[in-house]
Amino acid sequence: MKTDQKNSSPRRKLALIIGNDNYNVLHNKLNHSINNTRDLSDVLKKIDFDVTMHIDVDSEMMVTIKSFSKTINDGDIIIFYFSGHGYEVSGKNYLIPVDDTRIKTDIDVEDIGISVQSIVERLIERNSSYVTIFIFDCCPPYWLKPPRTSNSTVHGKGLNKIQPPSGTFIQFACAANQTVDDSGGKQRNCLFSKHLIRNIARENINVTDVFRDIAKNVCSESNGVQKPLSMNGLDQHDGVFLNAVSSIIPNIPYGTVWKSKAQTIAGIRGPGSALAALNFPKGIFVNKNQAVFIADSSNNRIMKYNRGVIAGKIIAGKNISGYGSDRMWEPSNVIYDEQSKSYIICDYQNRRVLRWASRSSTFAEELITNKGCFGLAMDDEGSLYVSDTELHEVRRYRPGERYGTVVAGGNGQGSHLKQLNHPTYIFVGPDQVVYVSDTWNNRVVKWEQGAKEGIIVAGGHHKGKDETQLFHPAGLIVDRLNTIYVADYYNHRVMRWYKDASHGNIIAGNRYLPGNNANKLNGPEGLAFDKHGNLYVADSNNHRVQRFSIRIV
């Protein structure tokens, strides 16, 4: 399979956060460091960092850092943050511990202070392949003698510029060799950390852009007095995101309710082959503009319906079946690859997966051939997942891989937990967890990365129509709360199963009876959510796509 290169795996996120306010030497006490530390820790926890926080750390600081370093695995995203006093001696930087009574001279700083170079070396030693971010909010001047004495000018000039090792990003709260006295003021945080806390959790923003914006805001608010300095050693990494939020996984609040009567948004003239008609639609997806893309299976084409438009547009295939670069035979699924700006299509009866350029409706590239493909999914790292109804397995194709790797099933047809039986629709969640509509086993199965067998997360109690059962599960979505949404084909309904629930509940369709009214379904297949949480259902045997609008409470 050919595709473009992206980062290949999810990563752990660890942070060591230290704030020193209560220095033993009274004239060096600070006001904001502990607040900075606590507030930053809270923000990082919300974006899934495992945070280790310490306040008012003494000269044993390096022991704390060494202990933290032992928790690092190569490939992690690491943040080290220090808010407190820093000091430069002979071009070398030191962090000042709170037990600073014995610090009278530069030599004392070298003896008692904690070497920034040693901190950097220690933390990157165990994380050579990925990214370590160092943030030093050390702008307040450190006075070797009380500032009211005649020799009050004897204080550090701020931290010296550092050459960042490869794989590191080093951020100073002010310019090299600059100090800014923020001991006064009534704000909870100092200026730099205030903007750091506001910006560091922004979604899907490259870390270099985050700190660029922070520096810009700090410089503006200080009228050009405080100019944060960034030292970037991340040239070998194509984008580093502290809060990468999936564009694939929907965010549906717990307890969401949808209107019982749906609106037909595609196929109002069906069944048929006209542009306003569909013929047994299967897989669907909805883009950010609420355009709906449909595998119009028995019309052998992929359709696009813009919002509010009755007639669709053919974006791939024709109205007749065939095998070639411009034809398909009962396509079962379609997804969109943002990286290559192309549609990925399962050409079911032709047993192949195609890439169809979004700017062309006349040419397809074969990605995978001679496979009983049905379902498609793509994770945020660009790997493609394909279900195979003949080999009863799901394979993952990383960028550049030709044959792929079995990630679910692959142990023959059957009902054991290590087996699948005609897997159709699939969904890939965080950490490359694969969810499978194990259709002929009437269950949804979850396969963790590297697992040898699956876990039943919906159905699995033989075919049936009660709340613990499914009958030929089809379209499948999992949201950020790990709630499962599944089209229950022969029960003519869409079911929701909360995480670890023993049963599901109906969210669309009218019990178990098929129908073509606005509150009924007949053989639902593909499912999708738009950015507002509206639910889209390929109502296959009614030859239409229905939108169930979310209820605003």
CB 41 within 8 A of CB 51: yes
Residue 454 burial class via C-beta count within 10 angstroms: exposed 0-12, middle 13-18, buried 19 and up: buried
Are 257 and 283 in contact by the 8 Å Cβ rule? The answer is no
Read off the pLDDT of each residue in 481-501 and give the average, rounded to a whole number.
96
Confidence grade of residue 10 (pLDDT, cut at 50, 70, 90): low
Of the two residues 356 and 137, the one the predictor is more confident about is 137
pLDDT band with cut points at 50, 70 and 90 for residue 6? very low
Question: Is residue 297 a contact partner of residue 280, using CB atoms and an 8 Å limit?
Answer: yes
> φ and ψ at 39, to 5 degrees?
-70, -40
pLDDT of 338 reads: 80
Q: Is 288 exposed, middle or buried (0-12, 13-18, 19+ CB in 10 A)?
A: exposed
> Strand, coil or helix: what is 473?
strand
* Average pLDDT value for residue range 364-383: 91
- Topology of the domain comprising 13-233: Rossmann fold (3.40.50)
Give the start-to-end residue ranges of the domains of the chain.
Answer: 13-233, 257-551
| Whether 32 contacts 189, CB under 8 Å | yes
Which has more confidence, 87 or 7? 87
Question: Within a 10 A sphere around the Cβ of 115, how many other Cβ atoms?
Answer: 15
SS3 (DSSP) at 111:
helix
Largest CA distance in the chain: 93
Q: In the structure encoding, which two tokens stand for residue 264, read together?
A: 């037909």
Per-residue pLDDT reduced to its tens digit, 109-133: 999 999 999 999 999 998 888 899 9
Looking only at the bridges linking them, the beta strands covering 13-19 and 50-55 are parallel
Residue 149 is encoded by which pair of tokens? 């004495």
With H, G, I as helix, E, B as strand and everything else as coil, classify residue 28. helix
As a whole number, mean pLDDT of residues 36-59 equals 96
pLDDT at 539 over 60: yes
pLDDT at 99 over 90: yes
pLDDT of 126? 87
pLDDT computed for residue 422 by the predictor: 98
Residue 8's pLDDT band, with cuts at 50, 70 and 90, is very low
* pLDDT computed for residue 324 by the predictor: 82
38-50: average pLDDT: 96
Residue-level pLDDT at 98: 97
pLDDT-derived band at 337 (thresholds 50, 70, 90) equals confident
Q: Fold for 257-551, please state it.
A: Neuraminidase (2.120.10)
As beta bridge partners, residue 333 has: 346
Query: pLDDT of 186-220, one tens digit each?
Result: 789 999 999 999 999 998 889 999 999 999 999 99
